[in-house]
């Protein structure tokens, strides 16, 4: 389902508990269900999950990387970007990287972002892999968003770690799909209740949308893998409002310039930026969020589950104010620097 593109939230989300599992199986701290800018120092060698689809979780922290990036996850902390040394068309040159607990800077001359191709020399061939990584040539790293992986050793499907991480991901995805199917009546009831409360009896206009997030990490202390799922379902009653563009702004003049040692005024008008008609969605959004966290041992067996109980929210989407003229104001062009002596 397509996401709506015009949301301009003006009120904080209100969460209201709708249902829960047994108390011992319920996630009590919803805020830390996904880590947010949570990092700790790394030793010279660390065990964790190297994975391909980390961008949705990175986006919750306001971070963004290349489409084919690999990220490293360990200890329930935020995903880390990984660089790898290369001599073949490096994308990054002379990068200063903090190392050790104190963050001493070391320069790496030639690096690429870790991606499925750049880690092939270490036989990393799966989209999810349990690896032992050498961090910054064994120097370790302070609490940071990234490090240089100078070597990798794949651990899953070995004698000490029999699990296959790609198989575990498929297993828990299937289990989560079964959980949602079994809870469908509860989910539908929760959405109906949330809609009645948020819209005061009005019928929703839709569209109903669903967003799923998955976070994966490895816990070295217990030799277990954790996979957290969260689903958000939204609906609402909306009106599309069209804003007429405001009158064309006056043309902007070029700044003064030097001609023959004298300052003369700019004489060429800068092209106007003509705003287009602008549509926004207004109204009320409501929805629910819920999830399940799975704990998997090193043999690939699910040994624990915890539920993120269903909670509802509502949010008012108001029309943005653009001032006189009703439309969004154009962004003026950047000033042009004065010309040098001719």
The distance between the two most distant Cα atoms of the chain, rounded to a whole number of Å, is 84
pLDDT at 1: 42
* Cis geometry, peptide bond prior to residue 197 (ω within 30 degrees of 0): no
Res. 16: pLDDT tops 60: no
| Mean pLDDT value of segment 176-194 | 98
Q: What angle do CA 151, 50, 62 make, to 5 degrees?
A: 115
| Mean pLDDT value of segment 31-46 | 97
pLDDT at 252: 59
The whole-model pTM stands at: 0.79
Structure tokens at 19: 């249902």
In 75-223, DSSP assigns E strands to 80-85, 92-99, 104-113, 128-135, 146-154, 209-219
Res. 329: pLDDT tops 50: no
CA distance 9 to 207: 17
Q: What angle do CA 289, 294, 299 make, to 5 degrees?
A: 165
In degrees and rounded to multiples of 5, residue 63 shows phi and psi of: -115, 150
228-244: pLDDT as tens digits: 999 999 999 999 887 65
Q: Which residue has the tokens 């990068």?
A: 95
60-91: pLDDT as tens digits: 999 999 999 999 999 999 999 999 999 888 99
Q: What is residue 299's DSSP assignment?
A: T
Res. 6: pLDDT tops 50: no
CA distance 50 to 38: 17
Cα Rg, the chain, nearest whole Å: 26
Tally of CA atoms within 13 A in the half-sphere of 316 that contains its CB? 6
CA distance 149 to 41: 14
| Mean pLDDT value of segment 268-284 | 64
pLDDT at 340: 45
Res. 247: pLDDT tops 90: no
Q: What percent of the chain has pLDDT over 90?
A: 71
Mean pLDDT of the chain: 85
| Mean pLDDT value of segment 90-118 | 96
CA distance 117 to 68: 9
111-121: pLDDT as tens digits: 999 999 999 99
Environment class of residue 9 by beta-carbon count within 10 Å: exposed (0-12), middle (13-18) or buried (19+)? Answer: exposed
pLDDT at 334: 45
CA distance 126 to 119: 10
| Residue 341's pLDDT band (cuts 50, 70, 90) | very low
CA distance 13 to 5: 18
| Mean pLDDT value of segment 105-127 | 97
Res. 248: pLDDT tops 60: no
Res. 21: pLDDT tops 90: no
pLDDT at 152: 98
Structure tokens at 283: 């109204």
Of 334, 181, 308, 314, nearest in space to 255 by CA: 334
In degrees and rounded to multiples of 5, residue 29 shows phi and psi of: -105, 90
CA distance 242 to 240: 7
Res. 246: pLDDT tops 90: no
Res. 31: pLDDT tops 90: yes
Res. 110: pLDDT tops 70: yes
pLDDT at 138: 98
More confident residue, 89 or 218: 218
Q: What percent of the chain has pLDDT over 70?
A: 75
Contact, 316 vs 11, CB < 8 A?
yes
């Amino acid at each position: 389902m397509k996401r709506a593109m015009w949301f301009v939230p003006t009120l904080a989300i209100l969460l209201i508990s709708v249902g829960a599992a047994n108390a011992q199986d319920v996630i009590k701290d919803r805020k830390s269900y996904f880590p947010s800018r949570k990092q700790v120092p790394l030793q010279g060698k660390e065990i964790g999950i190297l994975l391909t689809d980390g961008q949705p979780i990175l986006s919750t922290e306001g971070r963004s990387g290349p489409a084919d990036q690999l990220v490293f996850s360990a200890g329930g902390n935020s995903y880390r970007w990984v660089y790898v040394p290369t001599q073949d068309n490096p994308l990054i040159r002379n990068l200063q990287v903090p190392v050790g607990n104190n963050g001493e800077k070391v320069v790496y001359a030639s690096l690429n972002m870790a991606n499925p191709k750049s880690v092939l020399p270490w036989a990393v061939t799966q989209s999810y892999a349990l690896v032992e990584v050498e961090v910054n040539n064994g120097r370790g790293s302070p609490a940071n968003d990234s490090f240089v992986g100078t070597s990798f050793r794949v651990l899953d499907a070995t004698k000490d770690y029999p699990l296959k991480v790609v198989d575990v991901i498929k297993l828990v995805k299937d289990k989560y799909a079964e959980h949602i199917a079994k809870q469908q009546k509860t989910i539908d009831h929760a959405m109906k209740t949330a809609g009645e409360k948020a819209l005061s009896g009005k019928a929703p206009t839709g569209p109903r949308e669903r967003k799923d997030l998955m976070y994966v990490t490895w816990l070295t202390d217990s030799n277990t893998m954790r996979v957290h799922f969260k689903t958000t379902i939204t609906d609402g009653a909306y009106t599309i409002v069209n804003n007429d563009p405001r009158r064309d702004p006056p043309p902007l003049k070029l700044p003064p310039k030097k001609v023959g040692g004298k300052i003369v005024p700019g004489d060429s008008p800068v092209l106007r930026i003509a705003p287009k008609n602008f549509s926004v969605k207004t109204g009320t959004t409501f929805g629910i969020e819920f999830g399940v966290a799975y704990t998997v041992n090193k043999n690939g067996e699910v040994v624990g589950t915890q539920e993120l109980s269903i909670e509802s929210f509502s949010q008012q989407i108001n029309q943005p104010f653009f001032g006189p003229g009703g439309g969004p104001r154009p962004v003026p062009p950047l000033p042009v620097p004065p010309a040098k002596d001719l």
